[in-house]
Amino acid sequence: MDEQLINYLSKILPAREENISDLEKKAKIEKIPIMEPISMHFVLQMLRLKQPINILEIGTAIGYSALRMLEAVPNASIITIEKDEQRYQEAIKNIQKQGKEEQIHVIHGDALEQLNNLQKDQLFDVIFIDAAKGQYRRFFEQSAPYLNKAGMILTDNVLFRGYVAQQELAPARFKNMVKKIDNYNEWLMHHPDFTTTIVPIGDGVAISSKK
């Protein structure tokens, strides 16, 4: 989004609890990829409207988004998967610190492997994808069977700093990933079983619901 709009929306966001602000500061200092506050606020509003009971998250990082989601749906149960050992341990610590370990179950491992280990009859109302961008399509394909009939899949970073729309401006280190995100968006928008809207807020959020 335009920088002036980002600054404006950031300024008027409701104040976060101290523990959440601390996680945001830590992520900024240590360059840990968590969802941007503006995008997170949007997702929380989607959850308030949807009122999911069971949520699957692919990409825990330090537990920030899982903890935030419980703000919108305090009675929800969340299963979240994280590949990185250090971030997995930090997520466990942050979740326990807030006393949410009964509601947030963190699985350590590669999501592409761990998704196969979920109970086949376990269905989720919302699936949130925010992990390795180059694997988005595989994450979607493997997690979609676990979505209930009225469920929705949210994918973050689908515009990736605006480079997806202007790939010629992407730094060399991002070009391959940006192309994969672009391919994912094209595939997702024409998926025969899902209707998708991409919202240009934060780093871009895709909302996919079953037809």
pLDDT above 90 coverage of the chain, percent: 88
Report the binding-site residues for S-adenosyl-L-methionine. 35, 65, 82, 110-111, 130
Give the span between the Cα atoms of 161 and 63, in whole angstroms.
Answer: 23
Q: Is the pLDDT of residue 131 over 70?
A: yes
What is the H or E stretch that residue 198 is in?
strand 194-199
Which of these ranges, 11-20, 57-66, 190-199, has the smallest mean pLDDT?
A: 11-20
Kindly state the percentage of the chain with pLDDT values over 70.
Answer: 100
Q: Picking from 8-22, 50-64, 102-116, 181-195, which range would have the lowest pLDDT averaged per residue?
A: 8-22
pTM for this predicted structure: 0.94
Written as six digits, the tokens of 140 are 């979607």
Q: Parallel, antiparallel, or unpaired for β 54-58 and 147-156?
A: unpaired
Q: What is the pLDDT of residues 141-189, one digit of tens each?
A: 999 999 999 999 999 999 998 899 999 989 999 999 999 999 999 999 9
Q: What is the mean pLDDT of residues 206-211?
A: 96
Q: Which two tokens stand for residue 82?
A: 């994280």
Structure confidence by residue, pLDDT tens digits, 174-187: 999 999 999 999 99
pLDDT for the residue numbered 177: 92
Strand order in the sheet with 147-156: 104-108, 77-82, 54-58, 124-129, 147-156, 205-210, 194-199
User: CB within 8 A of 124, min separation 6: which ones?
Assistant: 52, 54, 55, 56, 79, 146, 147, 148, 151
Task: Tell me which architecture the domain covering 3-157+195-210 has in CATH.
Answer: 3-Layer(aba) Sandwich (3.40)
| Closest of 162, 156, 161, 165 to residue 206, by C-alpha | 156
Instruction: Give residue-wise pLDDT tens across range 21-73.
Output: 999 999 999 999 899 899 999 999 999 999 999 999 999 999 999 999 999 99
Q: Quote the pLDDT of residue 1.
A: 62
Q: CA angle 184-187-191, nearest 5°? A: 135
pLDDT of residue 62: 96
- List the one residue out of 171, 168, 202, 182 whose CA is nearest residue 134: 182
- Residue 161's pLDDT is 87
Phi, psi (5° rounding) for residue 130?
-155, 65
Annotated binding site: 35, 65, 82, 110-111, 130, 156-157
The per-residue pLDDT for range 72-91, each reduced to its tens digit, is: 999 999 999 999 999 999 99
Annotated binding site for Mg(2+): 130, 156-157
